[in-house]
Amino acid sequence: MYAPNLFQDKVALVTGGRSGIGYGIAEALLKLGAKVIICARKAAPLAEAAAALSEHGTCVQRPCDIRKSEEVEALADLIESEFGRLDILVNNAGGQFPSLARHISDNGWNAVINTNVNGTFYVSRIMANRFFVPQKSGNIINIVVNHLRGFPGMAHTGAARAAVENLTKTLAQEWAVYNIRLNCVAPGTIISSGLDTYAEPVKALLDKMKEENLMQRHGTIEDVANAVLFLASPLSAYTSGTTLYVDGMDHLHGDRMRMVNMFR
Ligand SMILES: CCC/C=C/C(=O)SCCNC(=O)CCNC(=O)[C@H](O)C(C)(C)COP(=O)([O-])OP(=O)([O-])OC[C@H]1O[C@@H](n2cnc3c(N)ncnc32)[C@H](O)[C@@H]1OP(=O)([O-])[O-]
Ligand SMILES: NC(=O)C1=CN([C@@H]2O[C@H](COP(=O)(O)OP(=O)(O)OC[C@H]3O[C@@H](n4cnc5c(N)ncnc54)[C@H](OP(=O)(O)O)[C@@H]3O)[C@@H](O)[C@H]2O)C=CC1
């Protein structure tokens, strides 16, 4: 539905692009003409993903833990030497684990906050300073989760994603002068490799959530990627600092306490 050359001459970075939603976003951008860089922590699957994505166009990769700003700087060096510019940043890398809040250790809490909040901030700041501010143009899309009514059973990620959403609103205003737009995409439950990280009883809960969804289904990677394409494109030129829910209305509806009750 988008013009095939929509992102011709554009360069995009997708963090966590080796798997699941990030891979789907990278593939969708490549198919519309963008040159794409992907990063993740695990070198071997990252290289495999980049090789597969290269069937659709120019895709380069570099291992990078977004929690380490020196590794993010090295990633910016690679982008500079390969492409000399960056137009689109998709902060997709992130995650968490299910747990009652009172059982989350300091390290567990910090791992989730560091990944989702600090990592997203480091990548955004570094790419803005290196590319978007000097170019006077840039587009950042932050993948969060549906946390509108809190996130019982995943308190750390609810707090972290709320921080990212607020950061998005702030940076959208601070950086508007540089012609940089920032928005969030908040997926509901999406059929992707991420869901494979959950064991029973959470898997059963996910099935229950599908029954309760007003559209009677989980989301797909394409549902999320298509929303990212819209926000990355000039079709959304007057939209910044906002969040687009891709969740079949789960943010309006459903039992948010179900996961907590399951662990009781
Ligand atoms: C409805 C669905 C909506 C959302 C879906 C998705 O997002 S799908 C996307 C899903 N995809 C992803 O989430 C992928 C990305 N996620 C990840 O890499 C990890 O979940 C991470 C964010 C914790 C970072 O990992 P890392 O390598 O930095 O972590 P580390 O191994 O070094 O441990 C640090 C601390 O965390 C603790 N801990 C860890 N796991 C568990 C657990 N299951 N239980 C309890 N605790 C756990 C661990 O014990 C340790 O604390 P300790 O023992 O020292 O006190
Ligand atoms: N699937 C779903 O239902 C939903 C997913 N989301 C969010 O969407 C995003 C993608 O999820 P999904 O594709 O399903 O899950 P995946 O687990 O497949 O993807 C997570 C990706 O992030 C990378 N990553 C994790 N931590 C880091 C880090 N510190 N530095 C660099 N890369 C990192 C992982 O690679 P590596 O391990 O090699 O570092 C992996 O490629 C995540 O932020 C997730 O929380 C939100 C709502 C729902």
pLDDT of residue 262: 86
Q: Whose structure tokens read 């960056």?
A: 86
pLDDT of residue 234: 98
Paired strand residues for 245: 186
Output DSSP code: residue 217. Answer: S
Q: Which residues, in sequence order, are CB contacts of 105 under 8 Å at separation 6+?
A: none
Q: Whose structure tokens read 């492409």?
A: 83
Query: How many A from CA of 177 to the centre of ligand 2?
Result: 31
How many CB atoms are located within 10 Å of the residue 74 CB?
A: 14
Q: Is the CB of 160 under 6 A from ligand 2?
A: no
**Angstrom distance (rounded) from CA 92 to CA 40:** 10
Q: Is the CB of 135 under 6 A from ligand 2?
A: no
Query: How many A from CA of 106 to the centre of ligand 2?
Result: 21
Look up the ipTM and state it. Answer: 0.98
- Give the chain's domains with CATH numbers: 11-263 (3.40.50.720)
Q: Which residues, in sequence order, are CB contacts of 258 under 8 Å at separation 6+?
A: 205, 208, 209
CB 98 within 8 A of CB 154: yes
pLDDT of residue 28: 98
pLDDT of residue 77: 98
pLDDT of residue 263: 83
Give DSSP secondary structure letters for 80-136.
Answer: HHHHS---EEEE-------B-GGG--HHHHHHHHIIIIIIHHHHHHHHIIIIIHHHT
Query: How many A from CA of 5 to the centre of ligand 2?
Result: 28
pTM of the model as a whole: 0.98
pLDDT of residue 56: 98
Secondary structure class of 11 (helix, strand, coil): strand
pLDDT tens digit sequence for 166-203: 999 999 999 999 999 999 999 999 999 999 999 988 98
Q: Is the CB of 107 under 6 A from ligand 1?
A: yes
Paired strand residues for 244: 185
Q: Which residues, in sequence order, are CB contacts of 89 under 8 Å at separation 6+?
A: 12, 13, 15, 123, 124, 127, 132, 138, 139, 140, 141
**Angstrom distance (rounded) from CA 47 to CA 62:** 8
pLDDT < 70: residue spans in the chain: none
